[in-house]
Amino acid sequence: MKCRGLVKNFLVWAILTGLFAMPTVSFAKEEIKEWELVNPEGTVKIDPIKINVHPSTLQGKTVMLRWNAKHNGDQFLNRVAELLSEQVKDIKIVKAWEVIPETNIISQSPERSKEFAKKIAAFKPDLVIGSQAD
């Protein structure tokens, strides 16, 4: 009986001690503080270019089709050429890969892209449709 009383007292003591000790053995929280940081994004520098207005109709106009040599780009554009010829009166289609085959490649640089653009512009198309990307 006396033992049971001692055990009971010990358990109560242990529980009460544990409850009071909990905050001191809990994991320390990370400190919230005021930071001053530098934005890593920086600014941009872009020189604007003027975009030409699209023609209001393709009737009687010259449309150049440009392919970058990626697989099936020519097949896609060939079908576009067929549909344009069927549906648009007096349209003239020029396929860049036939008339300026040296442009039928991924340009790989803005400088070479400009070079290709000049060659395309020399044909004075009213519109250029390019099959780009993959």
Partner 1 sequence: MAKETALSQGAADACFVIVSHPMGMISPIEIRKKAENLFSEMLKAATEWKPIAKLPPMTPPYPAERFKFKGTAENIQKLFFEKGWSLGLPVIPPTPEAVAKMLKGTSHRPDEVVWIVPPRMGVLTVELVAVHAVMAGCKPEYMPVILATIEAMSEPKYNWRGATTTTGTIGPMVLINGPIVKEVGIAFGTGAAAGGYHPNVSIGYTINLIGDIIGGSKSPEVDKSTFGSPADIIAWVFGENEDANPWESYAIEHGFKPTDNVVTVKNVYPTIDMADHSSSTPEAHMKWWRYVVSPLGRPSCDNPGEYFFILAPEQAYMLAKAGWKKEDFRKTLWRDARAPLSAWSTGTGMCGMAPVPKEFLPVTLDTLIPITRKPEDIEVVVAGGPGKHSQFFTPGHGRAVSKLIDKWK
Q: Which range of residues in 7-15, 20-28, 108-116 is near partner 1 by CB under 8 A?
A: 108-116
Q: Is 100 in the site for partner 1 (CB under 8 A)?
A: no
CB crowding 36-66: b at 16 or more within 10 Å, else e? eeeeeeeeeeeeeeeeeeeeeebeeebbbbb
Binding residue for partner 1, selected from 2, 45, 89, 124, defined by CB under 8 A: 45
Q: Is 71 in the site for partner 1 (CB under 8 A)?
A: yes
Q: Is 28 in the site for partner 1 (CB under 8 A)?
A: no
**With respect to partner 1, which residue has the nearer C-beta, 4 or 33?**
33
Three-state DSSP state, 20: helix
Q: Is 75 in the site for partner 1 (CB under 8 A)?
A: yes
How many residues touch partner 1 (CB under 8 A)?
54
Binding residue for partner 1, selected from 2, 27, 53, 89, defined by CB under 8 A: 53
CB of residue 118 to partner 1, shortest distance in Å: 14
Q: Is 90 in the site for partner 1 (CB under 8 A)?
A: no
CB of residue 123 to partner 1, shortest distance in Å: 17
| Backbone φ and ψ of 58, nearest 5° | -95, 0
Q: Contact, 63 vs 84, CB < 8 A?
A: yes
Three-state DSSP state, 82: helix
Binding residue for partner 1, selected from 1, 2, 4, 40, defined by CB under 8 A: 40
Give 127's contacts (C-beta < 8 A, 6+ positions apart): 54, 55, 58, 61, 62, 63, 64
